[in-house]
Amino acid sequence: MKNQLGKILVIDDNKDILTAARLLLKKYSTSVHTEEDPQKLPALLKNENYDIILLDMNFNKDVTSGSEGFLWLEEILRIDPSVIVILMTAFGDIDLAVRAVKAGATDFILKPWQNEKLVATLSVAMNLRQSRLEIDKLRTRQQQLSADLDQRYHDMIGACPAMQKVFTMIDKVAQTDANVLIMGENGTGKELVARALHRQSSRRDEVFISVDMGAIAETLFESELFGHVRGAFTDAKIDKSGRFEIASGGTLFLDEIGNLSLPMQAKLLRVLEERQIIRLGSNQPRPIDIRLICATSMSLYDMVEKKEFRQDFLYRINTVEIHLPPLRERPEDIPLLTEHFLNFYVKKYKKQVKHISAGAMTKLQGYHWPGNIRELRHALERAVIMSDKQVLQPEDFLFQVPRSAEALNINTFELDDIEKNIIRKVLAMCGNNISHAAQKLGITRSALYRRMQKHGL
């Protein structure tokens, strides 16, 4: 048990008490400090963090009311609310003990004490101290996380008109309880939009529950979404709440809603219409109160035409639609996204990378990004990890060449067409400023003029 009691401070006007405490507790604690004068308490607490303070309740001769102890207890907890304070007195009674605990003391001991009992009391107190410190640490982390998440559009970066339209839609819809359908390719940030809607809604202080509908087996669908009661099936050992119940009061985000089979769509539609669920194996309806946000990378309207998606279910989930543009349609946002991810990964991996070269940026802006922002983020992470330079170059970014352009849903271009397309995009980005465009492309003004003349630009 050596050192398990941490740092202990003993305050008592009786030198014999202080000596006895020091001799007993030095075997079990990191350090034991003793002090006769309680007036020195503020200075002691300012210069040292104690885990446990043993505080006498009476410092004037013939005073037995404990009033001094209560005054100093209040002062200690004002300076350090997380410290453990155990009051000591030779004139103990139940009323005084109750008052001490209500005032913030952790425990109350009588003098003279029994050594084993005192050590046991301090051991329990130290466990409480460690729990308090852990709670404070978690609370601080949570506050920082909340502060980070409460940025208006956390990790959503974009200055292009299409993204500004998305931000405007979020602002208009967030404060309502309207069902929202977010549409966009994989990697465009659909869950970020869902979380932004939740953070700006009246439900911001309640839970946000995310469910990947493509990852739930049809046999487990009802149990996962609606819950089950004990004995509903072989492995149902206890009652279990489903995602709808857990999310009640907050926001339920159903990702990849297009993966649902028609029977599952019908069950969800009924729940959304009746605003109640029935656990598997039960007949008892349970009311739910959720804000529903769905997302998909699939064309639900095409699926409706093919009878693969229920039209009535689509109408139910898309009171408002938000469309996220693919990254290839917003090349002007790539420098902003790149700077954001670069700073993040440089800090995370403690690298010396300062920025990326103009040639590397041109390469990033000329790539079609089938994986969208997620692929860009991974590309930056890999480049930062692998680079030993301060400036990332084009060769630091390696892209997989698809076996066929058709697999990426893009047209096949000849090399001249690719060059023409890149030059046109860069000129547009630079407002047709030839000098700036040449700098971004990594070529001279005269070389750019020759290429422009070649391509009729």
- The per-residue pLDDT string of the chain (457 residues; one tens digit each, 9 = 90 and over) reads 556 888 999 998 888 889 999 999 888 888 899 998 889 988 898 888 889 999 988 776 545 566 777 888 888 988 888 889 998 877 666 677 678 778 888 888 888 888 988 999 899 988 888 888 888 777 666 655 555 544 444 568 888 999 999 999 999 999 999 999 999 999 999 999 999 999 999 999 899 999 999 888 888 898 999 999 988 888 888 888 999 999 999 999 999 999 999 999 999 999 999 999 999 999 899 999 999 999 999 999 999 999 999 999 999 999 999 999 999 999 999 999 999 999 999 999 999 898 999 999 999 999 999 999 999 999 999 999 998 889 999 999 988 655 444 444 444 445 667 777 788 888 887 778 887 787 777 777 777 777 887 777 7
Pick from 311, 295, 321: nearest CA to 262: 311
Residue 117 phi, psi (nearest 5): -65, -40
Q: Identify whether residues 134 and 168 lie together within a single domain.
A: no
Same domain, 321 and 336: no
Which CATH number is 192's domain given? Answer: 3.40.50.300
Is residue 155 situated within a structural domain? no
Looking at the fold, whether 357 and 318 belong to one and the same domain comes out as no
CA–CA dist 333, 329 (Å, integer): 9
Cβ-based neighbours of 378, under 8 Å, separated by 6 or more: 371
Distance (Å, whole) CA 172 – CA 34:
63
337 shares a domain with 311:
no
Reduced to 3 states, what is the DSSP secondary structure of residue 323? strand
Does one domain contain both 122 and 199? no
Q: Is 47 within 8 Å of 123 (Cβ atoms)? A: no
- Same domain, residue pair 185 and 306: yes
Query: What gap in Å lies between CA 25 and CA 53, rounded to an integer?
Result: 12
Residue 252 covered by a domain: yes
The answer to whether the beta carbons of residues 396 and 383 sit under 8 Å apart is: yes
Q: Are 247 and 371 members of one domain?
A: no
Q: Clarify whether residues 285 and 335 are in a common domain.
A: no
Q: Which structure tokens are listed for 59?
A: 């410092």
pTM (two decimals): 0.58
220 CB contacts (<8 Å, ≥6 apart)? none
Residue type, 279: R
Q: In the chain, how many domains are there?
A: 3
Please state, in angstroms and rounded to a whole number, the distance separating the CA atoms of residues 362 and 354: 17
Of residues 319, 376, 368, 329, the one with CA closest to residue 165: 329
User: What type of residue sits at position 363?
Assistant: K
CATH of the domain at 334: 1.10.8.60
Are 73 and 97 in contact by the 8 Å Cβ rule? The answer is: no
Same domain for 169 and 136? no
Q: How far is CA 264 from CA 12, 190, 219, in A?
A: 71, 22, 10
Range of the domain at 69: 7-142
